[in-house]
Amino acid sequence: MSEDSICHDLDVATPHCESRDMIENLGDNPSEEALAKVAAVRAKECMNEMFGTDLRIVDREKLESIAVFTKDELQVGHYLGKGSFSDVFEVTATVVAEKDVTLAMKCLRPQLRSNAEQFLIGVEDLVHETAMLASLEHPNIIKLHGRAGASVSSCSDRSIPASFSLSDGYFILLDKLKDTLDDRVKLWEKSNLSNKSLPNITQVRTSMTLADALSYLHSKNICFRDLKPANVGFDSTGVLKLFDFGFAVEMDKPNAADGEEGLLYDKCGTPRYMAPEVGLEQGYALPSDVYSFGILLWEICALAKPFGKVKSATEFHKTVFTKGARPKITKSWPPVLKELMASCWSTVVSDRPEMPYVKSTLAAHVEDLTKNPQTQKKSGLLRRLTVS
């Protein structure tokens, strides 16, 4: 079964824009310079569209405070990996106080040039991520250090702001990560550090830290929409960093006067971790992230891929989304973990806990394990914590 992220917009009308006219006139083999200009124009359009909305997360002042770079100012190193529409490279950049730092540069994948629609979506994805990350500040969320830009003197089109007039396309600079949760799970599974029947304190603390990052996003009414091990990384010091915010979106507030529920309907995410209401296109909100967290918590504890025996998308849709199958919980696990993950992936959306409660429950279990490792073997119900 494919592990690729998907995001299918439902009944979304694409507005007429200058960049679309430009890309329709590019021809079959557009030059890099022509594509870079399209990227610049579409980036400008995306920013104007976001600033014209009532979404609180888009902050022009914070965005404009992000350092601007051209690729000539960067020493590009080796290839690190890829996102939905992007490639990621190691770069060295000079930042505050003339200090050189090693970062990750995320830029559009060259293969997108052959598909005009995918190219525009790729630009939109990166610009959206720029605006989102510029407005977030949390120790366990990847940090935005810079974005593409050029000097005004190099701009042939004065109608395009300097920060979007590029000779080499659009890119952003982020924390460089050393490995992902996928890598950690494999390492834990192969090592002797973990008794597979009893999740250890490292596994529980990792889950708690991730829950803290999600709690922060949900406090800002942001739905991440693609929670999976491949989007959870660790920097060189071992600090967990949630990354790849291309699908993250701020939720509209429910409008009681109009009877609108403020739900999302795009089918976004990775099927293995996708909530049933997302997969069935029934409308969803922040609890869809809670479901994904529950599945991921099981994977961290079990050190195995959830639904590993399901081989096709059709089988997965029928077995998980329609019939409500869930991973098998090991009987010897601490009750606090078993009950927490089961409540997170409840079919009844309203029965799922909110992320601050999940975080507090895991924090309490970490504390118990720190004081007395034997507490994980004791039976008991989930402690009901008061969450401020």
What average pLDDT does the segment 260-289 reach?
A: 93
In terms of pLDDT, which residue wins out, 104 or 382? 104
What is the C-alpha end-to-end distance of the chain, expressed in Å?
A: 40
String of DSSP letters for 185-206: HHHHHHSSS-BTTB--HHHHHH
Give the containing element (helix H, strand E) for 279: helix 276-279
| Domains in the chain with CATH codes | 15-175 (3.30.200.20), 179-377 (1.10.510.10)
Please give the helix or strand (H or E) that residue 94 lies within, else none. strand 86-94
Exposed, middle or buried: residue 274 (CB in 10 Å: 0-12, 13-18, 19+)? buried
How far is the C-alpha of 314 from the C-alpha of 296, rounded, in Å?
Answer: 22
CA dist 133 and 144 (Å) reads: 6
Query: For the segment 37-75, what is each residue's pLDDT rounded down to a tens digit?
Result: 777 777 777 777 776 665 566 677 888 888 888 888 899
Over residues 179-214, the pLDDT tens digits come to 999 999 999 998 855 556 789 999 999 999 999 999
Q: What is the pLDDT of residues 81-130, one digit of tens each?
A: 887 788 999 999 887 666 889 999 998 887 776 677 777 788 888 888 99
Q: Indicate the average pLDDT of the chain.
A: 83
- Closest C-alpha among 97, 43, 107 to residue 67: 97
What the block records as the tokens of 166 is 């590029």
Q: Is the separation of the CB atoms in 358 and 344 below 8 Å?
A: yes
CA geometry: angle at 71 spanning 139 and 241, to 5°? Answer: 15
Predicted pLDDT at 382: 42
% of the chain exceeding 90 in pLDDT: 54
Give the per-residue pLDDT at 221. 95
Q: Which of 51-65, 250-264, 370-384 has the lowest mean pLDDT?
A: 370-384
What radius of gyration, in Å, describes the C-alpha atoms of the chain?
22
Q: Which pLDDT score is estimated for 165?
A: 40
Residues 346 and 353: beta-carbon distance below 8 Å? no
